[in-house]
Amino acid sequence: RRAAGAGRFLHLPRQTLRARILERVRPGTIRWGSRLKGFVCHGEGRGVTAHLRDGTALRAALLVGADGIFSTVRRQLRLPGDRLNYLGLFVVLGMAPTADLTGGAAAVALPK
């Protein structure tokens, strides 16, 4: 649904993103809990070096910026037109087995 004066809102559930990434990488490739300080791109097809806050430097073919709304990756890329823009919407997400939903409802509207 589009709110008056709102921009776009794209939501990719974190569990879906994690599942897709984990399907494609070798075990031990992902370093959960690491904090990114910054990164250096080495040119097209030559990879990237990620610099972590603990001082570790990791060279890789690809860096996935799945680090949330205040993304270090997004901030460093400085993409044209990329800015945080409050949409006037409040999103509440949760998960429940579908059998637990009354009447098969998959969404619930809350009153103002």
Helix, strand, or coil (residue 36) = strand
Q: What is the mean pLDDT of residues 66-89?
A: 79
What pLDDT score does 78 carry?
84
pLDDT in tens, 3-50: 555 556 567 777 888 898 889 988 888 888 889 999 999 989 899 999
Sign of CA dihedral 74, 76, 79, 82: positive
What pLDDT score does 16 carry?
87
Please give the structure tokens belonging to residue 25: 């990488």
**Measured distance CA(49)–CA(73) in Å, rounded:** 12
pTM, to two decimals: 0.60
Average pLDDT of the chain is 79
- Beta-carbon count within 10 A of 44 CB: 6
- Domain range list for the chain: 35-82
What pLDDT score does 1 carry?
47
**Measured distance CA(55)–CA(79) in Å, rounded:** 26
Q: What is the mean pLDDT of residues 49-76?
A: 88
CA distances from residue 102 to 56, 96, 97, 109 in whole angstroms, order as listed: 50, 11, 11, 14
Q: What is the mean pLDDT of residues 41-62?
A: 94
**Measured distance CA(63)–CA(30) in Å, rounded:** 10
Indicate the pLDDT class of residue 56, thresholds 50, 70 and 90: very high
Does 95 score more than 80 pLDDT?
no
